[in-house]
Chains A and B, each alone.
Chain A
Amino acid sequence: DIQMTQSPLSLSASVGDRISITCRASQDIKSHLSWYQQKGREAPKFVIYAASVLQSGVPSRFSGSGSGTDYILTISNVQREDFATYYCQQGYSAPFTFGPGTKVDLK
């Protein structure tokens, strides 16, 4: 199985900050990487796919980058509604594993 790690596992931010979350795969996943936002026990919301493509309807302050084993989710100008937990998932090889999540809360 491909192991996914994320860092940091938690971070505190203020409204208007720019934040970045890193996701690392245990092997090259060739940009088959998605990011999700989850609030409480709601279903995860699809934010970015193919490492850098913004899902329709997602604000442009979200962006993704990376290749190979290392990927980054960036939120510029963080808004109150962005405080949530973010997960990455690799879609390169089954089983399609998730990262442990990064909780973003208000400083």
Chain B
Amino acid sequence: QVQLQQWGAGLLKPSQTLSLTCAVYGGSFNGFYWSWIRQSPGKGLEWIGEINYDGLTGYNPSLKRRVTISVDTSKNQFSLRLTSVTAADTAVYFCARGRGYGDYWGQGTLVTVSS
């Protein structure tokens, strides 16, 4: 049974850096891509980017300048960093397994950006 558990700060001030981590339990970590997706009332579901076991990344061009996704294969974890956040980055952030799909998802983390 594959489970994804995510955590990170939920309240940020403008210009700060968002940092979230997702741990994968059960199943295989290598052989898959691991993704970050966010959901806001204004923009719906938005794919942020992905990483695989070898560290190969892909990012949404709309966020590419500010996003870094990294992987720690020793812990079966992957992480998201989003710099210079603004109110427009307020959303529920999800981690998920898969490239171009998500068959397993984390529970979601509400990140609010407010001064």
Listed in ascending order, the chain A residues whose CB lies under 8 Å from chain B are 1, 32, 34, 36, 41-46, 49, 55, 87, 89-92, 94-98, 100-101
Contacts and interface: CB of A to CB of B under 8 A. Distances in A.
Contacts of A45: 105
Interface of B: 35, 44-47, 50, 58, 60-62, 92, 94, 96, 98-108
Nearest to B48: A95
B101 A43 contact: no
Given A32-B100, A91-B99, A44 B47 contact: no
B17 to A, nearest CB: 22
A94 B58 contact: yes
Given A41-B92, A97-B47, A98-B46, A46 B101 contact: yes
A91 B94 contact: no
